[in-house]
Structure 1
């Protein structure tokens, strides 16, 4: 299927997906664009069988990465109100609450995974190890690593979708 047709079909779906999860955000167009940029990168290595599902996976990963970055920024933000009299921008409590909710769901879903699946997923996402490195560390084959990571992603995606 050609990219312009995929875009015509999938871009509105992605906009609705991002809009539902990022209420009031101005980044929706940028996220849709980034999703398609990443799809183009994947098309260089081969055509995904189901581009819509592949785009959805990319979109979920973008939201996950965005949430992690925001959580890291919030964790590193320390300011005493005694040190300043006025904040430069008003606090956005809604975004913080959304991040907290998403992270609570993510942690719960992660804790529900079998040990080896959780280990493989964390080694890939947190420690940024390759499938080969994970396989060597856990004593399993690369296809088994792929299975565990796919299983973890599916479980986490389902948990996030329920909320």
Structure 2
């Protein structure tokens, strides 16, 4: 349906030329979800207004319509009532009991200790120097008389053993 006297060809040409620009405008200002609907509404308003034949620069008129749509949208959002709900403490989210967490933490700690004890001697030593004594790879390499690459190798091995033990347990 076109407005009286409006050429469908000129509207179609304007739509094809300006749709991407108007859509991009709304994407930047209103988001990807709202942009297609707002762009469609902008072109519908332009068509209903009958200004396509009267306007010297229909692109600028379309931009003004788009701007006004965003202003109207903002006003609607501001004036819409906000819903407030009574806070009911008895309906609080269920949380895991502290005792359960402590038991799981103790189990994990025992698993960790067993895994470290089962590591090869050199791997265990490198791992403990790094994790317990907080030594750098360079300091560990100097203390053990090995290269930094060797320290890195043993740390990777130790972490893989820990990861595997946890994966089997849980």
Shorter-chain TM-score category? 0.3 to 0.5
TM-score between the two structures when normalised by the length of structure 2: 0.43
> Which has the greater radius of gyration?
2
TM-score between the two structures when normalised by the length of structure 1: 0.45
